[in-house]
């Protein structure tokens, strides 16, 4: 709020800083500023920001407001923004848009990322499948701790969280999990199967968001894996997404 210049009551507020400095603000602060601007002002501000900053900012507001903010934005730019958002957040935004435009935007996205979002859109809105993300890290049990660490450095930046690493077999069935702390403290040559925990709290894609929130609170977890009826991992639900049901972002 130190960057806001208040005018007379009948005039909108304006920013005291340049748009390039605005992008240095935390996305949550940007979202708060945008929510207090007029439609024209918010459109201009979003237009001045890079795609990654727009994506991070949109994730801080409710899907209904996201849809309003991208209503007049060119489809190509919206598709780029959707690719920068987590799959679950992108799916929530697309669910708020008219079906025709939603499909057009999916067609403009990279195929792999669009496929992840399409799959999430098939789940009921208030289900675990509707809030899970497909951006997680999984490794095979025959890796050593050193190899797992190298793999994490390679792919970790694309994951929603690296607090937990999941262990799957060749059919993608979930067989174990270990924390980043477990990995860091393990001897480099220790096999993953010796540091993983086999007792795993899981959710089903069709469980309710309330189930996810209660599991996070009961077991004090930062993320919970979601598995299908055959035990294959489908995604993860992070604690912040699970608790949004009880403590909404708004």
Question: If we measure between CA atoms, which residue out of 233, 92, 243, 89 comes closest to residue 164?
Answer: 233
Asked whether residue 1 carries a pLDDT value surpassing 90, the answer given is: no
pLDDT of 30-65, one tens digit each?
888 888 888 888 888 888 889 999 999 999 888 899
Provide the pLDDT confidence category of residue 250 given band limits of 50, 70 and 90.
very low
Asked whether residue 4 carries a pLDDT value surpassing 80, the answer given is: no
Q: CA-to-CA distance for 178 and 194, rounded, in angstroms?
A: 10
Question: If we measure between CA atoms, which residue out of 21, 22, 50, 52 comes closest to residue 34?
Answer: 22
Provide the pLDDT confidence category of residue 26 given band limits of 50, 70 and 90.
confident
pLDDT computed for residue 84 by the predictor = 93
- Can you give the pTM of this predicted structure? 0.77
Asked whether residue 219 carries a pLDDT value surpassing 70, the answer given is: yes
- Averaged pLDDT of the chain: 88
């Amino acid at each position: 709020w130190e960057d806001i210049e208040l005018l007379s009551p009948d005039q909108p507020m304006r920013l005291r800083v340049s748009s390039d400095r605005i992008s240095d603000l935390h996305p949550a602060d940007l979202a708060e500023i945008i929510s207090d601007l007029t439609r024209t002002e918010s459109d201009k501000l979003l237009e001045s920001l890079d795609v990654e900053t727009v994506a991070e900012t949109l994730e801080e507001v409710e899907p209904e407001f996201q849809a309003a903010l991208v209503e007049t934005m060119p489809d190509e730019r919206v598709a780029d923004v959707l690719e920068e958002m987590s799959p679950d957040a992108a799916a929530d935004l697309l669910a708020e848009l008219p079906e025709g435009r939603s499909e057009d935007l999916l067609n403009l996205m990279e195929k792999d990322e669009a496929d992840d979002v399409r799959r999430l859109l098939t789940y009921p809105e208030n289900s675990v499948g509707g809030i899970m993300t497909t951006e997680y890290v999984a490794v095979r049990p025959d890796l050593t701790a050193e190899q797992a660490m190298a793999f994490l450095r390679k792919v970790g930046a694309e994951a929603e969280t690296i607090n937990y690493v999941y262990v799957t077999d060749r059919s993608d069935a979930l067989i174990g999990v270990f924390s980043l702390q477990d990995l860091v403290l393990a001897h480099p040559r220790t096999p993953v199967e010796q540091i993983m925990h086999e007792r795993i709290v899981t959710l089903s894609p069709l469980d309710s968001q309330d189930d996810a929130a209660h599991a996070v609170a009961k077991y004090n977890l930062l993320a919970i894996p979601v598995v299908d009826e055959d035990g294959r991992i489908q995604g993860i639900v992070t604690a912040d997404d699970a608790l949004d049901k009880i403590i909404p972002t708004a």
